[in-house]
Chain A
Amino acid sequence: MSFPPLEITRPESGNLKLILHEISHALSELMATGNERSIDLRGIPLAPGEEKKLLESLGEGEIRAELDALGKSRIQESRYSGVWIVTHCNSNGEIMGRFIEITRSPALLAAQTEDMAAGLDALRQLIATGTES
């Protein structure tokens, strides 16, 4: 038994263009004043498929990083320098949050003082005893 092909039409919320405008304004402000901005995509109503379309519009740039803490996080520069897509997943790979960050470098990429202090302790322990703490 065969079924006729299912016609799937994609509704549009109209918010896609508004987000691109907001990113454009934020990038302009970053260049002029250094102010950083973060857009939480969870807070914006998007029709099915629109988030994918937004990510396709932003494209992929030169830098791609992966953070492995409480599940993976992907930090991807878009094709527009200064515009980053940060996606946080849990340990099952389910997306917990997605942000568009307009910044020279996302804060999560930088080494954190607390982690450096813990690392320094471990390194000193290694030097002193030959065994990592």
Chain B
Amino acid sequence: MNKERTLGEILRQQGVSRRGFLKFCATTASLMALPPGMVPTIARALENARRPSVIWLSFQECTGCTESLTRSHAPTIEGLIFDAISLDYHHTLQAAAGSAAEQARESAMKENFGNYLLVVDGSIPLANAGFSTIAGTSNLEILKEVAKGAAAIIAVGTCAAYGGLPHAKPNPTGAVPVSAIISDKPIVNVPGCPPIPVVISGVLTHFLTFGRLPDLDHLGRPLAFYGNNIHDRCYRRPFYERGQFAESFDDEGARKGWCLYKLGCKGPVTYNACATTKWNNGTSFPIESGHGCLGCSEPDFWDMGGFYRALSEPIGLSARTVAGGAIGGAALGAASGLLNRKKKAEALARHEKIGVDELKDGETK
């Protein structure tokens, strides 16, 4: 397909009417969390946008990120956006294999040097180059080579953004994220395990629409999708405010849809768009299905102390610590008081929230 044609021309050729295009722009504005008033601006920009070349590299990953994207039913916003880009290399999706595939990548890099977008999913092993290779070339080598000519890099999935599961303790492969290796290119992190499909395509849409990458938070994530935490946008938030919590997955609170905070929900410390964008074409999201948020868009979410441990529950402390304090000569009550203060100090040091019960008692200091 001719890369010189604009997105508007491509869509018209596919028989998409102006009304269809405006509908596309309205849903695009919605997914980018832009106000509906921005639709005419998006329409003007997308009308004249040209197809960028995209090279997609997959390293230490489970292909869940690609699955997330391709399991969306066409024609969706994602489908249209991927019609609007030139996906020149994606070794899972492309028909070509072996040297022909690598030649496709090399020619795309040469033709579009300095202008192509590099999408990466998966972490990069540093402990041994042989842990993960593509056509005999190590992930580290291929990333450095392709990043040289990229206009920008989009790290898709928590593995590429923060190391993800391969980076979980004890990190046997020495896995690192893209940002640990490439420091001279703009990098957008699109974390999630996997990321929401429209968030992946939303970043590409933003690039097409505005000709630049979106504004990012301190962890390199687009603010449009990661600007709010799950807790603040959760429909169960009012139960949290009222102190109504499910204590187990089959108690009365769970049946009544109360807050899952005490069952380990990581919503209060997780920034993502699940609560509003939702999954499976807007059907629901984990909390709506009765399970707490795992915090999958946050760095090191595998090592956050357990999926079913409440955020306020101190990690690594046991009755033995209390007994140790008592043996030291202090009364048990005093030891418990000291331990509570220690728990709180350690929780604060780990950026954890102070517990609901403590909030109720006014013991936040």
Contacts and interface: CB of A to CB of B under 8 A. Distances in A.
A122 B246 CA distance: 63
A94 B73 contact: yes
What does DSSP make chain B's interface, helix, strand, loop or mixed? helix
Contact of B18 (A9, A12, A39, A114): A114
Contacts of B24: 70
A13 interface: yes
A61 interface: no
Contact of B277 (A12, A39, A42, A99): A42
A13 B235 contact: yes
Contacts of A55: none
A107 B233 contact: no
A29 interface: no
Interface string A7-51: 111111111000000000000000000000011101111111010
A8 B252 CA distance: 11
Contact of B275 (A38, A45, A67, A114): A45
B22 A48 contact: no
A68 B49 CA distance: 25
B75 A90 contact: yes
A37 B235 CA distance: 24
A115 interface: yes
Contacts of A11: 235-236, 238-239, 256-258
B17 A90 contact: no
B255 A40 contact: no
A7 to B, nearest CB: 6
A92 interface: yes
B30 interface: yes
A51 to B, nearest CB: 10
B16 interface: yes
Interface residues of B, number: 42
A96 B282 contact: yes
Given A90-B73, A94-B281, A9 B23 contact: no
A113 interface: yes
Contacts, number: 108
Given A11-B256, A112-B18, A47 B235 contact: yes
A1 interface: no
Interface residues of A, number: 40
A72 to B, nearest CB: 10
A114 B77 CA distance: 21
A79 B20 CA distance: 26
B281 A95 contact: yes
Interface string B222-243: 0000000000011111110000
B276 A88 contact: no
A73 interface: yes
A55 to B, nearest CB: 15
Contact of A69 (B16, B33, B258, B277): B16
A12 B238 CA distance: 8
A108 interface: yes
B300 interface: no
Given A11-B235, A47-B257, A115-B18, A70 B73 contact: no
Interface in B74-102: 74-77, 80
Interface in A36-89: 38-40, 42-48, 50, 67, 69-71, 73, 88
A69 B23 CA distance: 8
Most buried by A among B20, B31, B258: B20
Given A11-B256, A38-B36, A108 B19 contact: yes
Contact of B22 (A96, A97, A112): A112
Given A90-B76, A96-B281, A115-B17, A46 B235 contact: yes
Interface of B: 12, 16-20, 22-24, 26-27, 29-31, 33, 35-37, 73-77, 80, 233-239, 255-258, 275-277, 281-282, 284, 288
6 contacts: A13-B237, A42-B31, A45-B234, A70-B23, A70-B24, A97-B31
Interface of A: 7-15, 38-40, 42-48, 50, 67, 69-71, 73, 88, 90-92, 94-97, 99, 107-108, 112-115
